[in-house]
Amino acid sequence: MSRHPIIDIIKNYKSGKHDGIFSVCCSNKFVIEAAMDKLKNTDMYLLVEATANQVDQFGGYTGMTPKEYRDFIYELCDKNNFPKEKVILGGDHLGPLTWRNIDPIQALENSKELIRQYVMSGFTKIHIDTSMQIKGDAEDEKFGDEIIAERAAILCKTAEEAYLELLESDKDAIHPVYIVGSEVPIPGGAEATEEEEGLQITKVENFENTVRTFKEAFERHGISKAFEDVIGVVVQPGVEFGSTSVWEYDREKASSISNIIKKYNNLVFEAHSTDYQTKEALRSMVEDGFIILKVGPALTFGFREGAFALNDIENELLRYNSDFEVSRFREILDFVMVKNPSQWEKHYNGSGEEIKLERKYSMSDRCRYYMPNEEVEFALNKMMDNLSNIDIPLTLISQYMHSQYIKIREGKLKQNAYDLLKDRIGEYIDDYIYAIRK
């Protein structure tokens, strides 16, 4: 059995080298292919993670189980000639995230099966997240690190058992590494109420208490050896994004928490909600011990920007062409979002006109939840097919996707819709490559 590649990255960092890894938290095939394009000819691994609400044993909002998500990623590897051995599959926020309002015993049983399926499907980076309150916790004044750690230990024990089961069919399976934490930002960016309340950087004593409490819980459950495979802790370094705003990384304000990680030889920080940070801020975060950078909405935001630009090009070229039926991609996306508001209504507030703008352009990018919708997917495919059957004039590419126009002129990019879209997404990925490598 070989060692997990993230352990080598941590060893590099701890020995004084500048090293890190970014995590593509996404199920959008264009985003994943864009990341493959960027990393294909490098020595960097592609860490791609499915979130508990995207992919679970019941299908999640993507309709995929962990095994199906793994197969989906590997099919993209085959399509894009990307080596599977350079892919690290991760599970993000695995725990009772989507079962907070059901019977707590059932919520924990669901969480155990969720973790089991992820590990059995070959996911080797497991973020165990029990930081959220579930039914009954609001009335329990004792809710805190002890309860969070106790639940995490139960789930980690399930993961360890699943790994032993996996070894029976795959003797070369890599042992999973674990991420834990008790101050975990919710996936997808701040909700409207949180934007008003602001952020609190994790205190040193809270971090140290988390590590100690989790270690003790693992020991109580007879999995003390598994704590050696806990490689990262999620803390709040003061970065977050909302619908129209970004909390920038402030190295000075985060100095207390970033300095404490030097005491721990085998632990680093995992930073969530790093979307929209500048590339220099991201690089500073890596230098300060936040060497696992999670990104998701910023990449689908880039996808949305590119798709909207292509939709504008399609309308300019084909709106009055009787040989084509235009996709109406943007209209159909908004229609579906209005018809099914559950994925965005807690994130957007203001007047009707303000919410209409946020549905399309928000940094929270709640659009991404609607991409698997049949009507939206059909419209997107129609748009891409339409643009693949015509020559897109350079003048329109310059108008709507100017940086891609420059790359085409310089011979660095092909002049077709798919490459234009992936390259637009790639601009966001470039910031993360800059951050983790010098």
Architecture, CATH, for domain 5-295: Alpha-Beta Barrel (3.20)
- SS3 category, 88: strand
- Alpha-carbon gap, residue 140 to 323, rounded angstroms: 65
Pairing of the two strands 177-180 and 125-128: parallel
Strand locations in 26-80, DSSP E?
Answer: 46-51
- pTM for this model (two decimals): 0.95
- Alpha-carbon gap, residue 375 to 95, rounded angstroms: 31
Is the four-CA dihedral 189, 193, 196, 199 of positive or negative sign?
A: negative
Which tens digit of pLDDT belongs to each residue from 74-83?
A: 999 999 999 9
Delimiting residues of CATH 3.20.20.70 domain(s) in the chain: 5-295
Is the four-CA dihedral 242, 248, 254, 259 of positive or negative sign?
A: positive
- Alpha-carbon gap, residue 3 to 45, rounded angstroms: 14
pLDDT > 70 fraction of the chain, expressed in percent and rounded: 97
Q: Tell me, which fold does domain 300-436 have in CATH?
A: GI Alpha 1, domain 2-like (1.10.400)
Q: Are 20 and 5 in contact (CB under 8 A)?
A: no
- Alpha-carbon gap, residue 200 to 221, rounded angstroms: 32
Cα separations in angstroms, 324 against 122, 226, 318, 393: 44, 59, 6, 17
Q: How confident is the model at residue 193 (pLDDT cuts 50, 70, 90)?
A: low
Res 139: pLDDT: 78
Angle at 249 between CA 289 and CA 291, to 5 degrees: 20
Which tens digit of pLDDT belongs to each residue from 114-161?
A: 999 999 999 999 999 999 999 988 777 789 999 999 999 999 999 999
| Percent of residues in the chain assigned helix, strand, coil, to nearest 5 | 55, 10, 35
Q: How confident is the model at residue 331 (pLDDT cuts 50, 70, 90)?
A: very high
Delimiting residues of CATH 1.10.400.20 domain(s) in the chain: 300-436
Q: How confident is the model at residue 190 (pLDDT cuts 50, 70, 90)?
A: low
